Amino acid sequence: MALRTLDTLVQSAGPLAGKRVVVRCDLNVPLQDGVITDDGRVRASLPTLQALTGQGARVVVVSHLGRPAGAPDPKYSLAPVAQRLSELLGQPVAFASDTVGESAQKTVAALEDGQVAVLENLRFNAGETAKDDAERGAFAEQLAALGDALVSDGFGVVHRKQASVYDLAQLLPSAAGLLIAAELDVLDRLTENPERPYTVVLGGSKVSDKLGVISHLLPRVDRLCIGGGMMFTFLAALGHPVGKSLLEQDQLDTVRGYIAEAKERGVELLLPVDAVVAASFSADADHVVADAEKLEDTPFGADGLGLDIGPRTAEAFAAAVRSSTTVFWNGPMGVFEMAAFAAGTKAVAQALTEVPGLSVVGGGDSAAAVRQLGFADDDFGHISTGGGASLEFLEGKTLPGLEVLGWQ
């Protein structure tokens, strides 16, 4: 069975004009003092919302934000998101102060054709993320009462079996939105006959977060570059001392297995040849560049910790990226939030903008990094809106939020 789309929804449910269409977006944006610091996910939701309003649908946007404990919490309110959505859509957007209560019901009832409303944070209701099927199902039924159809477009949550993602799609005529369709098209190109050379760059803090991806992609890629905090487990697996750098001792044997498999498969495994080592985890800490094999041969000795790939590694990774036709990158190369340790991440990001084929930034911290470092979204072939979902897809896992929409 193929993924159900907006087109197939119209074919099965009839014209959407006048119908209440619940749209599950992922508007989980970073907020600082009630101000959105990165509206990328809001902008990514626009094509689907505009397609629906253009057809005269009455659009009911639902999303989560942050991790409230199943109860209302003002600091996680979607009110600033509704305001930003109104600005981007160029039309008023109504906001309901609850999710399925009186305010939501009145707000939805007042919608006219082509209008948009945002309901308050789904996770203010414990039923959204409940492990208990009955509790989750009961909340989904309350949401279903507010709509005639569901368009699921929150790619960042399709790996979660949650009420608005999974259960609701079984209660209403449902389909994937344009964002999910675009994400899947890109991920399909990364896993099924990618154009070569194909390079994957992995960073972030933990090897354990990327085990499935490494295992699934090793048979598919030509090059694998390892940076970020996870690089120190690879270096330690080769017998190099890493001081107080992030190290997952329990993953050393697994990593040795990956190193051997890469060699066996003829995959070029690029590990750091140098790193930026600091005296402490601090933005203004003293720091030096050290050879990857001698990270403890610095003024900090065994107390030093690596916080970024070094300049020679950054140059090698950038060259590998630029000479590729397909590139997938997930995970920063260092602690990019601190200027002194952002150079490696910036070098990789810059190289991705120069890829002649498909360049994909795999969501999460990688997406935050490129924006914080001054790059524009359209500098890259694609910036995923879902880091965890992208990784699980690339691991070959079944994602419940896609399966329920017909994706196999």
Query: Tens digit of pLDDT for each residue in 246-276?
Result: 999 999 999 999 999 999 999 999 999 999 9
The active-site residue out of 41, 84, 244, 371 is: 41
Distance CA 361, CA 408 (A): 24
Q: Is 206 a catalytic residue?
A: yes
Same fold for the pair 6-182 and 194-394: yes
- pLDDT in the model for residue 389: 87
Residue 202 annotated in ligand binding: no
Residue 397 annotated in ligand binding: no
Assigned architecture for domain 194-394: 3-Layer(aba) Sandwich (3.40)
What is the rounded average pLDDT of the residues 311-334? 97
> 6-182, which class in CATH?
alpha beta
The active-site residue out of 56, 70, 388, 406 is: 388
At 168-204, the pLDDT tens digits run 999 999 999 999 999 999 998 998 889 999 999 999 8
Residue 14 annotated in ligand binding: no
If we measure between CA atoms, which residue out of 217, 329, 319 comes closest to residue 267?
Answer: 217
Residue 26 annotated in ligand binding: yes
- pLDDT in the model for residue 24: 98
Distance CA 404, CA 175 (A): 9
**Three-state SS at 135:** helix
What's the pLDDT band for 206 if we cut at 50, 70, 90? confident
Residue 220 annotated in ligand binding: no
Residue 401 annotated in ligand binding: no
What is the rounded average pLDDT of the residues 225-238? 97
At 278-299, the pLDDT tens digits run 999 999 999 999 999 999 999 9
- pLDDT in the model for residue 212: 86
Distance CA 52, CA 40 (A): 20
What DSSP string describes 65-118? -S---SS--GGG-SHHHHHHHHHHHTS-EEE-SSSSSHHHHHHHHT--TT-EEE
- pLDDT in the model for residue 2: 86
What DSSP string describes 363-406? SHHHHHHHHHTT--GGGSSEE-S-HHHHHHHHTTPPPHHHHTTT
If we measure between CA atoms, which residue out of 185, 199, 202, 176 comes closest to residue 362?
Answer: 202
CA distances from 195 to 149, 190, 353, 368, 394 (A): 38, 8, 17, 27, 16
Q: Is pLDDT above 80 for 230?
A: yes
Domain boundaries, the chain: 6-182, 194-394
CA distances from 92 to 47, 104, 116 (A): 17, 16, 8
pTM: predicted TM-score of the whole model, two decimal places: 0.89
- pLDDT in the model for residue 205: 86
Tokens for 357? 């084929």
Please report the sign of the dihedral spanned by the C-alpha atoms of residue 170, residue 173, residue 177, residue 180: positive
Tokens for 387? 């880091």
Q: Is 364 a catalytic residue?
A: yes
Residue 364 annotated in ligand binding: yes
Say which amino acid occupies 398: T
Distance CA 332, CA 345 (A): 6
The active-site residue out of 206, 220, 312, 322 is: 206
Residue 27 annotated in ligand binding: yes
Q: Is pLDDT above 90 for 363?
A: no
For 165, residues 6+ apart whose C-beta sits below 8 A from its C-beta are 24, 152, 154, 157, 158, 400, 401, 404
At 381-398, the pLDDT tens digits run 999 888 888 888 888 888
Buried b (16+ CB within 10 A) or exposed e, 234-262: bbbbeebebbbbbbbeebbebbeebbeeb
What is the rounded average pLDDT of the residues 133-139? 97
- pLDDT in the model for residue 1: 55
Q: Cβ(382)–Cβ(153) under 8 Å?
A: no
Distance CA 251, CA 237 (A): 9
Q: Cβ(158)–Cβ(133) under 8 Å?
A: no
* Count of C-beta atoms within a 10 Å radius of residue 354: 12
The active-site residue out of 364, 386, 387, 401 is: 364
Please give the radius of gyration of the chain, using alpha carbons only, rounded to the nearest integer. Answer: 23
Percent of the chain with pLDDT over 90: 86
Distance CA 314, CA 275 (A): 9
Tokens for 18? 């006048």
Strand 326-330: give its sheet, edge to edge. Answer: 268-270, 223-226, 198-202, 326-330, 358-361, 382-383
